[in-house]
């Protein structure tokens, strides 16, 4: 397969060869036409000069001096004929006369007619001849002919064609060398970009980028686009690395706890109540593991593709009521009250189970972080701009520095990574992934000591975006 440089060079040289060929042909034809016109003018003038030398009273008794016809450029000969095309005079340069053809007799019959012809003499030599009919006072005198060798016309034309071909070949060669040099110079930044791109790997992804030199502005956009791709790959790689590390940490902690409790139980014989206590503790750890694995699978599924089932019209008012009923026992155990502020209907297009999971995660999160005796409000509304669901709690609030990272995977506000509530920092990340898959957004507003409000937003077609603070 030919390289881009080779294809570009070949294409340019083919076009240049076509232009040079066309130019050479045009020049050759113009010069040939000019030379032909000069010869025809020369032989015509000399033919009239020869005709005027003929004595009208006795054309056959003429003695003609050939010196006036002579030329430094051409070998000239002359002939004269009477009305019946009988030879009256022949130039000494002709060994044999050149007899007229029937076509010439017919064309030359017109008074003062001039006929130009290419003819072949008896010896096989080619000539260019001008034939004129001479009359004086309406009386025919003779047919006068002057001719020159065609080889004297063709020789300079052949030389011209050789010069044109040679100059075109040299020009094509020089142009090829110059174009090859220019293309190499133009391709040098591209080769440098390619070499730099081949050197980029996972180790250098964080600091190595492509650079387009100032003299190659065409490549600046390519380099910028590729650098943007590298930035996205770096972000994905960093998120993946952090995700794997956090997932390993989250899985290692309950597994270590399970292993330690089992090893302690097996060191000696224990009472049935001790074994029952150990099994109960192990059950709680296994539930946390099952929840973590379920959340990891949910995130992996959302990363791989949008919600699987076909989208349908989902009534968020009904969905919020169902979530409140499902979580009522958890709220009662936490001594938290749930209050609904829902319209008759608030429909969006999406996958029902995924949307239910997003709302459920927000309400569960609010229940876990709301002190006993406080109120959680679940509110839905819709207008011409879009549909939203707000989950407002009366918890301790979230500090401002945590808000930009709140929806990151495994991110938890408590730096000690407290496991009291069994959370792994994946609930809000799942909510964000579900919203993005449905073309929506999730945002949070929080005041320390007052509480937090999480908002799910689905804009209508042409609707206004979510206000500032959205994620």
For residues 373 and 367, what is the distance between their CA atoms, to the nearest angstrom? 11
pLDDT tens for 60-72 read 666 666 666 667 7
Q: What is the DSSP letter of 373?
A: T
Coil, helix or strand at residue 81 = strand
**Sheet holding 441-447: strands in order across?**
337-341, 375-382, 386-392, 451-459, 441-447
Distance, first Cα to last Cα, the chain: 49
CATH label, 4-155, candidates 1.10.1760.20, 3.30.450.20, 3.40.140.10, 3.20.20.70: 3.30.450.20
Q: Give phi and psi for 449, each to the nearest 5.
A: 80, -5
Q: Give phi and psi for 212, each to the nearest 5.
A: -100, 125
Q: What is the DSSP letter of 66?
A: -
For residues 426 and 295, the answer to whether their CB atoms sit within 8 Å is yes
Reading the block at residue 172, the tokens are 């094509």
Strand pairing report for 375-382 and 337-341: parallel
Confidence at residue 354, expressed as pLDDT on a 0 to 100 scale? 86
Strand pairing report for 76-81 and 87-90: antiparallel
The predicted model scores a pTM of 0.49
For 200-304, give the CATH class: mainly alpha
Cα 366 to chain centroid, rounded: 49
179-201 in b/e form (b: 16+ CB < 10 A) is bbeebeeebebbebbeebeeebe
Cα 244 to chain centroid, rounded: 36
Locus of tokens 């876990």: 368
For residues 194 and 456, what is the distance between their CA atoms, to the nearest angstrom? 44
What fold does the segment set 308-459 form as a domain? Heat Shock Protein 90 (3.30.565)
Domain ranges, ordered by start, for the chain? 4-155, 200-304, 308-459
Confidence at residue 462, expressed as pLDDT on a 0 to 100 scale? 43
Residue 302 zone, left/alpha/beta (φ > 0; ψ -120 to 50; rest):
alpha
For residues 180 and 426, what is the distance between their CA atoms, to the nearest angstrom? 58
Tens of pLDDT along the chain (471 residues) come to 567 778 888 888 899 999 999 999 999 999 988 888 888 888 888 888 888 877 776 766 666 666 666 677 788 888 888 888 988 888 878 888 888 888 888 888 776 678 888 888 877 888 889 999 888 777 888 888 999 888 878 888 888 889 999 999 999 899 889 888 887 777 777 777 777 777 777 776 666 777 766 666 767 777 778 777 777 777 777 767 766 766 676 677 677 777 877 877 777 777 788 778 778 777 777 776 776 677 666 666 666 555 555 678 999 999 999 999 999 998 998 899 999 999 988 899 888 888 998 999 899 889 988 998 899 999 999 988 899 999 999 888 888 888 888 888 777 665 443 444 445 567 788 888 888 888 899 999 988 888 999 999 999 854 444 443 444
């Amino acid at each position: 397969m030919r390289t881009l440089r080779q294809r570009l060079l070949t294409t340019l040289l083919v076009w240049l060869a076509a232009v040079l060929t066309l130019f050479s042909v045009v020049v050759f034809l113009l010069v040939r036409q000019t030379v032909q016109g000069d010869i025809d003018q020369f032989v015509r003038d000399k033919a009239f000069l020869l005709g005027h030398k003929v004595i009208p009273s006795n054309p056959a008794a003429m003695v003609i001096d050939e010196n006036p016809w002579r030329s430094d450029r051409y070998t000239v000969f002359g002939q004269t004929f009477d009305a019946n095309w009988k030879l009256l005079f022949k130039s000494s340069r002709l060994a044999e006369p050149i007899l007229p053809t029937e076509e010439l007799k017919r064309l030359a019959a017109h008074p003062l007619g001039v006929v130009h012809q290419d003819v072949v003499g008896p010896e096989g030599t080619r000539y260019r001849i001008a034939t004129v009919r001479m009359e004086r006072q309406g009386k025919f005198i003779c047919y006068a002919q002057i001719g020159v060798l065609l080889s004297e016309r063709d020789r300079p034309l052949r030389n011209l064609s050789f010069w044109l071909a040679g100059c075109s070949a040299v020009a094509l060669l020089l142009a090829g060398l110059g174009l090859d040099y220019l293309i190499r110079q133009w391709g040098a930044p591209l080769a440098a970009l390619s070499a730099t791109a081949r050197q980029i790997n996972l180790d250098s992804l964080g600091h190595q980028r492509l650079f387009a030199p100032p003299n190659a502005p065409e490549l600046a956009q390519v380099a910028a686009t590729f650098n943007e791709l590298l930035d996205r790959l770096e972000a994905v790689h960093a998120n993946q690395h952090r995700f794997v590390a956090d997932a390993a940490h989250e899985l290692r902690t309950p597994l270590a706890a399970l292993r330690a409790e089992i090893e302690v139980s097996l060191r000696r014989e224990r009472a049935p109540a001790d074994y029952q206590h150990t099994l109960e503790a192990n059950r709680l750890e296994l539930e946390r593991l099952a929840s973590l694995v379920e959340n990891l699978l949910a995130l992996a599924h959302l990363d791989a593709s949008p919600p699987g089932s076909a989208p349908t019209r989902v009534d968020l008012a009904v969905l919020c009521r169902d979530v409140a009923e499902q979580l009522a026992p958890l709220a009662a155990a936490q001594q938290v009250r749930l209050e609904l502020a829902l319209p008759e209907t608030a429909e969006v297009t999406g996958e029902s189970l995924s949307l239910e999971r997003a709302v459920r995660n927000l309400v569960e999160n609010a229940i876990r972080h709301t002190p006993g005796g406080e109120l959680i409000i679940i509110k839905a509304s819709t207008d011409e701009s879009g549909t939203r669901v707000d989950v407002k709690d009366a918890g301790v609030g979230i500090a401002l520095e945590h808000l930009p990272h709140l929806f990151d995977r495994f991110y938890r506000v408590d730096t000690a990574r407290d496991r009291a509530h069994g959370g792994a920092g994946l609930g809000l990340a799942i909510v964000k992934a579900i919203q993005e898959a449905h073309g929506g957004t999730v945002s949070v507003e929080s005041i320390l000591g007052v509480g937090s409000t999480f908002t799910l937003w689905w804009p209508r077609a042409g609707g206004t975006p979510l206000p500032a603070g959205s994620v």
